[in-house]
Structure 1
Amino acid sequence: SIKGQTIGVLGVNNRSTERTFTQHDSELLQDLAAHAAIAIENARLYEESLMRTRELSTLFLASEAVNSSLALDRTLSIIAEQLLSTLSVSQCYIGEWLPGQQRLNTLVVYYRALWRPTDAPTLSFKNTSLLEQAFSHKRAVVLTPTYQRFDPPLAAWMPHRYQAKTIIYIPLFTQNQPLGLVTLYYIGEPYPEATFPQSSFLQQLGLEIGIKLIGSDAENQPHSFFRLANQVIEVTGANWYDIALWNTAQRQFKTVLSYGEAVWARNPKPGFDLSGFPQLSRLLTEKISLVGPAVDDLQYLLEVSHGQSFLAVPLVIKGQTAGLVFLTDTLRDRHFSRREVELAQALVLQAANALDNARLYHDLQHSLEELHRTQSKLVQTARLSAMGELAAAVAHQINNPLTTILGDTELILQDLPPDDPNAEALEAVSRAGKRAHEVVRRLLVMAHQQPFDETLEPIDVNETIENTLMLVKSHIQHGNVYLTVQLQDDMPPVSAIRGQLEDVWLNLLLNARDAVTGQPNPLIGVISNYHPGEEQVEVIVWDNGSGIPEDILDHIFEPFFTTKPVGEGTGLGLHICHQIIEKCKGSITVESAYNQGTRFTICLPVDRKRDVL
């Protein structure tokens, strides 16, 4: 005993001689027991000191790791990695709790999992016909899944199985016999076909892992297998890597290794309703940690992830439950000790602080980006104001010669007979001059801050298109550009501002002309249609030019945004088109593909006043 507490029993017996122990022997034994108790206590204290030192070192290293980045997605990944390595578990799920909606949204799912064949997830040829195709042809196949209805927790808990954009099956053979299957999952984006490595390389690496898994004790050296799996992830760009071994007797695959991660730092996030998970709800509301054995809803989550034991810890930030950390061991049906639970709680507390800092940094970045956008808009507003003043000065300068052109053209037309060959050309000059005069008038009104006459009138769309084509048809067709025009007859008028739809068609046609320059077999088309059911007229302007890059497609209607060289474009054409169509209560949309062309679709409401008698 030590400090009045009995810690054990020390006893002796005499087998060599027959004699009775004396009082001296008893005193000697008591003395030995006292020394033994002190030695045992010292050893226990030393072991406890070593354990505490290791825990402090672990917490320090974990703290350094989780605070090494302020990027939210990277922080989430590091937190999961530290929890797995420190507590020697296989799977980590971190969820974000939305108490007002009673919902748990997934932030990160992180696997470094091994299974014994008896407990492993299974996969058979019945799961997909492409799997059978991969083995019959002995080559990799690519699957773009279309998911049927399933329980929402599955998508949140196992995103690689239920949310992958692309799945690649790679069959493994040895001596012409099936050995197993490598599965790659791409969750966020489809797989990069252009940079995807040769499947023979991946098959060779898969064979190396598969043969090692069969011939060695994977449980005692998991990191060597995880290093090989990580090599595949880095080479292929996949989010997830599974390897399954073929079980001939059961005619199915047994997944023995799963390595990957999926992070959702931004919305939308997968998640599920907590109304069917009372144990999880209790953990979150009462801020308590739970450890196996699993019952009810926790048993369900443990089963779908094919785990043997679990530890669930609430994620608390500034005294408020913000989420959940759910850790699973796929190899051992273990009971987490009090010390392990306390260590997990300490790690989760560090993780919560790091996550809070990362979120604050993320919000700050978002605010700064919003500030920069606002500043850019202010600069654009100032530029527009300056351009308005400049436009007014230019308008005054061109107004006088334009008046002379229009007057002289009218005088000449009056003296020409109707069948004169020059009459058509002079009429085109007159129309162009009147349009230019209307533009000058609008510029002057804008400069003097007088209201435009923006009354919506019944306008014949086909007439505005034909007027515009008369101005630019020869310019468009220069350079062997083929122009096709398909205008539906007898369309009702639309509600629009007189003189402004021509500006829209002019801008779109000139942009199309620039886009097809240098393209083989350049084509430009204009189509008009009437949709009675929707009471709107649709105009499509299309080309087979170079297309608009996807990353700038959302910006083309912004003022001053242009891809043309300096001096060749103001960046205002499409912005003006968008403004005019909006004033007409219509819409303008764009579709474009690289080196395939661009298609602008304008929808304008039919003038309803025509029905009023």
Structure 2
Amino acid sequence: MAVNSTLALQQVLLTIARQILKALEANACFIKQRRFEAKDERVSAPNDTAPLVENELFVLSQAWQAVWQFESATRMPLEARPMLRQAIAQNGYYMVSHEQGSSWLSQELQMLRQSGAQCLTVLPLRIGNSKPFGVVDLFHRSQQPAEPLRAEQRGRIRGLAAEIYARLRSLPNAHSTISFQSSERPSPEVFALAQQILAEARADWLVLSLLAEDEQLLRVLQYGTAEFLEPPRPEESFMPAEIVPIFQGQAWVNAHVRQSDLSEPLRDLMASYGAQSMLCLPLIIKGKVGGMFVICDTYEPRLFNADEISLATALIAQAATAIENARLYRDLERSLAHLKQTQASLVQAARLST
């Protein structure tokens, strides 16, 4: 049996993304492929043959293991999610898919569109009859779970989430802050607990948000992985001027939020990732810039050092090789399919002529 090239590429890219996170002590990694139409050549996303637009980016894979401190967490008023408010009041939960069109779900539907997920499970967090302390948004990449979460599953997820908050020094019903030194990073056990939540919910990635006393939802943790090879997910974010030279093979971006000369477009791009620091490196395929890696540190403002950049570049080269090998394998499959079709047509024509 032939190996599924898409499945193999998916595994390679996610493995490389995780290796980068570990080696660079980073918290998010995005693999993006450039799609463009040129005079003599074309670089395309896997399994796609449609006409392409120059410098249009598509997300192939992403990996998160990020925690944000209270002061840098993304905020959203609870009133922007009326269905969540109702679920909190009724101690319930709900699921959202693209087919739903209620105005009460407008924020959740936007989250689905922006993330590329097919389904979202929303579970308010509380322990027993205590006051709710947050919410976990569980994203399903491919399809809606076959069955809803049972009561015992919801209980286990809530317990795991409470333990995560405790480990981040943000206890339920206590003062709503998360504070740790910039040099002090959460232990691996935090992400092991998050992985247990994903396994329990059969989800691909999750976002944990704290419910502050002023009824603001604060994103404090995001964890998990996703691949978007079939089809690749369009990148909705803009491209600051600093990014453009990457696609000309001239530079990379290595920046943090405390730099006084940071342009507003680049600062906005970093804010969209929740990044304190960001490293963008070219993805070079057969000597051409075919995309880029975006690597983020959500904990502290810093510049990635030369050794980290060299290590990331070496891992990115492995990703480029995997993408090119997958393309060659697909081309071979298409050629064989075309050959079989031609042979079948010739046999049919010979039968009709006799």
TM-score by length of 2: 0.76
2:226 aligned partner, one-letter code: A
* CA deviation after TM superposition for structure 1 residue 205, in Å: 2.4
Q: Are 1:263 and 2:227 matched, yes or no?
A: yes
Distance change >3 Å, CA 361–CA 228, structure 1 → 2: farther
Higher-helix-fraction structure: 1
CA contact (8 A) 2:243 2:252 kept: no
Instruction: Give 2:243's match in structure 1, choosing from 280, 300, 304.
Output: 280
CA contact (8 A) 2:112 2:119 kept: no
Tell me the secondary structure at the aligned position of residue 72 of structure 2: coil
Match of 1:130 in 2: 83
**CA deviation vs aligned residue, 1:343-383 (integer Å, no higher than 9, x gap):** 222222232223322332344345445556666x569949x
Instruction: Give 2:57's match in structure 1, choosing from 104, 108, 117.
Output: 104
Instruction: Give 1:79's match in structure 2, choosing from 16, 31, 54.
Output: 16
**Partner Cα separation in structure 1 for residue 346 and residue 143 of structure 2:** 36
CA contact (8 A) 2:185 2:299 kept: no
Instruction: Give 1:352's match in structure 2, choosing from 297, 320, 326.
Output: 320
**Unaligned segments of structure 1, at least 5 residues:** 1-68, 149-154, 386-446, 450-613
Larger Rg: 1
* CA deviation after TM superposition for structure 1 residue 81, in Å: 1.0
**CA deviation vs aligned residue, 1:44-80 (integer Å, no higher than 9, x gap):** xxxxxxxxxxxxxxxxxxxxxxxxx971211221121
* CA deviation after TM superposition for structure 1 residue 131, in Å: 0.5
Q: Are 1:210 and 2:172 matched, yes or no?
A: no
CA contact (8 A) 1:131 1:169 kept: yes
* CA deviation after TM superposition for structure 1 residue 320, in Å: 0.7
**Unaligned segments of structure 2, at least 5 residues:** 1-5, 38-52, 103-108, 172-177, 257-261
List aligned pairs for 1:467-482, cutoff 5 A.
none
List aligned pairs for 1:79-478, cutoff 5 A.
79-100=16-37, 101-102=53-54, 103-145=56-98, 161-174=114-127, 175-193=129-147, 198-213=153-168, 214=170, 219-248=184-213, 250-272=214-236, 277-293=240-256, 294-368=262-336, 377=344, 381=348
Q: Comparing 321-330 with 124-133, which one deviates more in the overlay? A: 124-133
Tell me the secondary structure at the aligned position of residue 165 of structure 2: helix
* CA deviation after TM superposition for structure 1 residue 223, in Å: 1.5
List aligned pairs for 1:432-581, cutoff 5 A.
none
**Partner Cα separation in structure 2 for residue 227 and residue 120 of structure 1:** 21
**Partner Cα separation in structure 2 for residue 448 and residue 254 of structure 1:** 74
**Partner Cα separation in structure 2 for residue 204 and residue 112 of structure 1:** 20
* CA deviation after TM superposition for structure 1 residue 184, in Å: 0.5
* CA deviation after TM superposition for structure 1 residue 166, in Å: 1.8
**Partner Cα separation in structure 2 for residue 94 and residue 133 of structure 1:** 37
1:225 aligned partner, one-letter code: V
TM-score by length of 1: 0.46
* CA deviation after TM superposition for structure 1 residue 169, in Å: 1.3
CA contact (8 A) 1:108 1:264 kept: yes
Q: Comparing 167-176 with 216-225, which one deviates more in the overlay? A: 216-225
**Partner Cα separation in structure 1 for residue 346 and residue 160 of structure 2:** 56
Aligned residues: 309
Tell me the secondary structure at the aligned position of residue 178 of structure 1: coil
Using CA pairs under 8 Å that are at least 6 residues apart, name the structure with larger relative contact order, 1 or 2: 2
**Partner Cα separation in structure 2 for residue 380 and residue 180 of structure 1:** 66
**Partner Cα separation in structure 1 for residue 206 and residue 26 of structure 2:** 18
CA contact (8 A) 2:20 2:312 kept: yes
Distance change >3 Å, CA 161–CA 113, structure 1 → 2: farther
* CA deviation after TM superposition for structure 1 residue 88, in Å: 0.7
Question: Identity rate of aligned residues, in percent?
Answer: 28
